[in-house]
Amino acid sequence: MKILVVGGGGREHAIIRKLKESPKVTGIYCCPGNGGIAKDAECFPIKATDIEGMTAFAKEKAVDLVVVAPDDPLVLGMADVLEAEGFMVFGPSQKAAEIEGSKVFSKNLMKKYGIPTAGYEVFSDSASAMAYVERNNQFPIVIKADGLALGKGVIIAQNLEEAKDGIRSIMEDKIFGKSGNNIVVEEYLTGPEVSVLAFTDSKTVCPMVSSMDHKRVNDHDEGPNTGGMGTIAPNPYYTPEAAAQCMETIFLPTMNAMNAEGRPFKGCLYFGLMLTPKGPYVIEYNCRFGDPETQVVLPLLETDLVEIMEAISQERLGELEIRWKKGAAACVILASGGYPKAYETGKPVFGLDENGQHPGVTVYHAGTKLQNDVLCTAGGRVLGVTAVGGTLPDALAKSYAAVREITFEGAHYRTDIGSKKF
């Protein structure tokens, strides 16, 4: 099979590495890809959101499967267009992707179907939102832009002033554009956070190994939110009891709710959960593999990923037994200095071999490019250094040993991935 993977970050690199293990695969294309992905797949500079360009490319190369990995092309309906052209696609329809594309939609869905989530109100004008937070007078409170915002559309306001500033910046200054036309204001929850990615064909839901992201840029969860600075899998707080409860109160009800709404979800459904004192609650849904969760979850997958994607497409996921490796995985992100705010690019990366790898670990490239044959930085998150071990401490030790040997000017990483205590 020839496979086209849409996207160009660490997640896509991890997907490609896993696809390459399948005996069914004869060739992989990635659009747009990046400097490191180019060692594993043929990359072409088509933007991930260019539906017309991507469809034309898929036709030209006569691919057998298209994996649409990022959120924005899914929310724009890329999977629908490719399917209408006869391609087998991994990734949900536009209507199903709204579970991530609109927080108002997902909150209303959870309310309607009794899926546990933080109490909330929706506002379409800033004056009523401000009047509400003033009247409610409980802090911290959480303010979320309705639409996509590169993982940065959530403000946790510690007091009234911060809440009003947040509402103003999203709804009046439009820092996230029209994603901020509506907002959700919700109750602040506490507890360990767990990411659960699940394969689903709308009939069966198969949770993958659980994981934990680290969203803040600095150690001890300080500094602004990022796309994710590191991950571990499995998540040590996600007990078998919590997993059973999530299946019953969250995973199955969500799949069924999407069917009842006429929006069957096929692909990878991401559950962002919080294990609160009152049980597991949904913080957010994503309509795709998480980044950098994928970088620790897929290395533990034993079953052929192509077989899983085919089974989902043919709605026979229930017939497959999906197997996972024992042990643990850890991914430490090397980011450009300054990220998630302004940062420089074009810095040569040292400590990697000609394939962009380092002994004992797998280096997933998030933001690299080849400049005169030299691998250079090209994004905020640059590399995801991933190791698998018998235990989490083993995996972390291997990952950090490599991280200390990989360098570029201004490189920043967290030194406390996987060590958080609740």
Q: Which of 71, 118, 112 is nearest to 256 (CA)?
A: 112
Return the number of the residue (215 or 369) whose C-beta is nearest ligand GLY. Answer: 215
**Minimum distance from CB of 227 to ligand GLY (Å)?**
6
Return the number of the residue (34 or 204) whose C-beta is nearest ligand GLY. Answer: 34
Binding at 290: pick from ligand AMP, ligand GLY, none (beta carbon under 5-8 Å per type): ligand GLY
Sheet with 230-233, strands from edge to edge, namely 212-213, 230-233, 328-335, 381-389, 362-365
Q: Does 91 bind ligand GLY (CB under 6 A)?
A: no
CA separation for the pair 333, 373 (Å, rounded): 23
User: What residues between 152 and 181 interact with ligand AMP by CB under 6 A?
Assistant: 154, 156
CA 2 to chain centre: 24
Whats the size of the chain, residue-wise? 422
Q: Which of 188, 350, 355, 404 binds ligand AMP (CB under 6 A)?
A: 188
Binding at 50: pick from ligand AMP, ligand GLY, none (beta carbon under 5-8 Å per type): none
**Minimum distance from CB of 60 to ligand GLY (Å)?**
30
* Tokens found for residue 54: 């991507």
User: What residues between 221 and 240 interact with ligand GLY by CB under 6 A?
Assistant: 228
Q: Does 71 bind ligand AMP (CB under 6 A)?
A: no
Q: Does 286 bind ligand GLY (CB under 6 A)?
A: yes
Q: Which of 75, 167, 170, 189 binds ligand AMP (CB under 6 A)?
A: 189
CA 324 to chain centre: 20
User: What residues between 123 and 162 interact with ligand GLY by CB under 6 A?
Assistant: 151
CB neighbour list of residue 127: distance below 8 Å, 6 or more residues apart: none
CB neighbour list of residue 239: distance below 8 Å, 6 or more residues apart: none
Q: Does 213 bind ligand GLY (CB under 6 A)?
A: yes
Return the number of the residue (40 or 284) whose C-beta is nearest ligand AMP. Answer: 284
Phi, psi of 59 (to 5 degrees): -70, -45
DSSP bridge partners of 6 = 31, 68
Q: Are 209 and 235 a contacting pair, CB within 8 Å?
A: no
Q: Are 87 and 63 a contacting pair, CB within 8 Å?
A: yes
CA separation for the pair 178, 28 (Å, rounded): 35
Q: Which stretch binds ligand GLY (CB under 6 A): 34-42, 86-94, 288-296, 319-327?
A: 288-296
Binding at 188: pick from ligand GLY, ligand AMP, none (beta carbon under 5-8 Å per type): ligand AMP
DSSP bridge partners of 183 = 123, 145
CA separation for the pair 43, 65 (Å, rounded): 16
**Minimum distance from CB of 396 to ligand AMP (Å)?**
21
Q: Does 72 bind ligand GLY (CB under 6 A)?
A: no
Q: Does 291 bind ligand GLY (CB under 6 A)?
A: yes
Residues near ligand GLY (CB under 6 A) are 151, 213, 228, 286, 290-291, 293
Tell me which residues touch ligand AMP (CB under 6 A): 118, 142, 151, 154, 156, 186-189, 193, 215, 272, 283-284
